[in-house]
Amino acid sequence: MKGTGITLRDVTVAYDRRPAVHHVEGAFEPGSLTAVVGPNGAGKSTLLKAIVGALKPVSGVVDRAGLRSRDLGYLPQAAEIDRSFPLTVADTVLLGAWRRTGALRGVDQATGKQAREALSAVGLEGFGRRAVGALSAGQFQRVLFARLLLQDAAVILLDEPFTAIDARTTRDLLDLVHRWHNEGRTVITVLHDFEQVRAHCPQALLLAREQIAWGNTDTVLAPANLLRARAMAENWDENAAICEQPAGTAA
Ligand code: ADP
Ligand code: MG
């Protein structure tokens, strides 16, 4: 698996012209494992959506080094995933292959085998025929990781993958994150547990609507940076002024 880097050049993302995260500048190096951290409302999810192409920055550039949006493996925050849709576990996993090949019809034997192997890798052997709606939160998260396994993407983005997930599942899925990292994939994950970040992620990006720090985790999570992020969050005004700066102009 060849790693692919993602470069952000002065990226600002807004909702109705109100910037949610602004002037982010830096690179996720090929094969890096980066935690995106910051207070609630810091713009972490917004930035991930801009990276995967679901939101278009109002200014700046997301350089995916030639990868198309569908080439990225993206796991949204749990609150955004609809589990009421009547899909089986196997079909949900196979959607990962569909993202890769563009066809669900006539899933070939090799893909079916890969799906069973992916389910086995996340500890859900034999769960294929169950309805996803009947799974626990932890089991469902395992299914979504199996889908990422099948998608086989060079860049994987996870948005709070372990929030409200039991400890055993978190451990198992963290092993998969390390496996992806060891395979040379580029992994970007929003996390809120700093101990987890320090233990598992060599790189970190600290956001508080603006970029506080980006680099080696120990440096980024220095007390001064965390205090600054918290101070900024305390001053957030939910009715912040509309950004009048036209797209594409420099600050
Ligand atoms: P985080 O993931 O760091 O908690 P988000 O990226 O979800 O932060 O949100 C950043 C800011 O953008 C917040 O102020 C949030 O209210 C706002 N926001 C998020 N999604 C939308 C949306 N769909 N429409 C308008 N504002 C939004
Ligand atoms: Mg979020």
Statement to judge: residues 92 and 110 lie in one domain: yes
Q: Is residue 118 part of a domain?
A: yes
In Å, what is the CA distance from 16 to each residue of 23, 44, 132, 207, 209?
Answer: 17, 18, 35, 20, 16
The label of the residue with tokens 């569908």 reads 70
From the CA of 116, how far away is ligand 2's center (Å)?
A: 31
Which atom of ligand 1 lies at the shortest distance from residue 43's CA? Answer: 6
Statement to judge: residues 47 and 158 lie in one domain: yes
Q: Is the CB of 43 under 6 A from ligand 1?
A: yes
CB 96 within 8 A of CB 116: no
From the CA of 124, how far away is ligand 2's center (Å)?
A: 27
Give the pLDDT confidence score for residue 249 in this predicted structure: 44
Which atom of ligand 1 lies at the shortest distance from residue 238's CA? Answer: 14
**H or E segment and range at residue 71:** none
Q: Is residue 249 part of a domain?
A: no
Burial class (CB in 10 A: 0-12, 13-18, 19+), 144: buried
Nearest to 173 by CA among 181, 71, 194: 181
Q: Is the CB of 46 under 6 A from ligand 1?
A: yes
- CA atoms within 13 Å, Cβ hemisphere of 126: 0
Statement to judge: residues 17 and 87 lie in one domain: no
Nearest to 75 by CA among 36, 101, 39, 110: 36
Q: Is the CB of 38 under 6 A from ligand 1?
A: yes
Q: Is residue 169 part of a domain?
A: no
From the CA of 12, how far away is ligand 1's center (Å)?
A: 13
Statement to judge: residues 158 and 236 lie in one domain: yes
**H or E segment and range at residue 93:** helix 89-101
Statement to judge: residues 96 and 61 lie in one domain: no
Statement to judge: residues 85 and 187 lie in one domain: no
Q: Is residue 251 part of a domain?
A: no
Tally of structural domains, the chain: 2
Statement to judge: residues 160 and 134 lie in one domain: no
Query: What residue owns the CA closest to ligand 1's atom 15?
Result: 41
Q: Is residue 177 part of a domain?
A: no
Statement to judge: residues 193 and 145 lie in one domain: no
**Which CATH number belongs to the domain containing residue 16 in this structure?**
3.40.50.300
Give the pLDDT confidence score for residue 17 in this predicted structure: 87
Instruction: Give average pLDDT by consecutive 10-residue segment, the chain, 251 residues.
Output: 86 95 97 97 97 97 91 90 86 80 66 93 95 94 96 96 95 97 97 97 98 98 97 76 48 38
Rounded Cα–Cα distance for residues 30 and 97 (Å): 23
Q: Is residue 172 part of a domain?
A: no
Sheet containing 59-63: which strands, arranged edge to edge? 59-63, 6-15, 18-28, 210-216, 203-208, 33-37, 186-190, 155-159, 72-75
Ligand nearest to the CA of 38: 1
| Domain end call among 96, 131, 153 | 153
Give the pLDDT confidence score for residue 103 in this predicted structure: 56
| Domain end call among 111, 131, 153 | 153
- CA atoms within 13 Å, Cβ hemisphere of 29: 8
Which atom of ligand 1 lies at the shortest distance from residue 207's CA? Answer: 3
Instruction: Quote the domain boundaries for residue 147.
Output: 81-153
Give the pLDDT confidence score for residue 250 in this predicted structure: 42
Statement to judge: residues 44 and 158 lie in one domain: yes
The secondary structure of residue 241, as a DSSP letter, is: P
Give the pLDDT confidence score for residue 40 in this predicted structure: 94
| Domain end call among 153, 175, 193 | 153
Q: Is the CB of 114 under 6 A from ligand 1?
A: no
Q: Is the CB of 96 under 6 A from ligand 1?
A: no
